[in-house]
């Protein structure tokens, strides 16, 4: 499926972006956080925020016709990486252990909402591997 797919997240319309853009066999998921159904959840818990953020990303992929097994790249942006990086990376392992996408864990100074400790991006590819 090709197109631009929103999730109704609080920043999509305000900041002018789509949750997922899909073109042919590729899909790119915008940064996802622990905003679920318009409400921020899991304040202070980076692992729970990561689980929620990956769930939002995978729901977006599903709307575009992609699945978890199609994920080829992830990026995790973590506030205070020394304190929270390991717990976020372990959640990535829970979600993608059998998929094993290329991945980056990046420390950042802050995110758009100061309660956010984690933001994730996901890229997917569905097709033949050379």
DSSP letter at 100?
Answer: -
**For position 59, which CATH number holds?**
3.30.1330.40
DSSP letter at 112?
Answer: S
The pTM of this model reads 0.92
Q: Give 109's Cβ-side CA count (13 Å radius).
A: 0
130 within domain boundaries: no
110 within domain boundaries: yes
Query: In a structure prediction context, what are the per-residue pLDDT tens digits for the chain, which is 130 residues long?
Result: 678 887 777 777 788 888 899 999 999 999 999 998 889 999 999 999 999 999 999 999 999 999 999 999 999 999 999 999 999 999 999 999 999 999 999 999 999 999 999 999 999 999 876 5
Domain that holds residue 58: 3-125
14 within domain boundaries: yes
CB 104: neighbour CB atoms within 10 A?
A: 10
120 within domain boundaries: yes
Residue with the two structure tokens 């956010």:
116
* Closest-CA residue to 24 (of 53, 40, 2): 2
Number of domains in the chain: 1
Q: Which two tokens stand for residue 66?
A: 């992609």
* Closest-CA residue to 73 (of 106, 28, 33): 28
């Amino acid at each position: 499926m090709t197109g631009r797919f929103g999730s109704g997240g609080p920043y999509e319309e305000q900041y002018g972006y789509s949750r997922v853009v899909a073109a042919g066999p590729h899909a790119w998921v915008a940064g996802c956080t622990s905003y679920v159904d318009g409400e921020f959840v899991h304040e202070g818990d980076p692992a729970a925020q990561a689980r929620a953020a990956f769930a939002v990303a995978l729901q977006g992929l599903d709307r575009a016709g992609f699945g978890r097994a199609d994920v080829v790249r992830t990026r995790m942006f973590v506030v205070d990486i020394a304190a929270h990086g390991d717990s976020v990376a372990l959640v990535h392992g829970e979600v993608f252990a059998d998929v094993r996408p290329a991945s980056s864990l990046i420390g950042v100074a802050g995110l758009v909402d100061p309660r956010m400790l984690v933001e994730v991006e996901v890229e997917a590819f569905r097709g033949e591997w050379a």
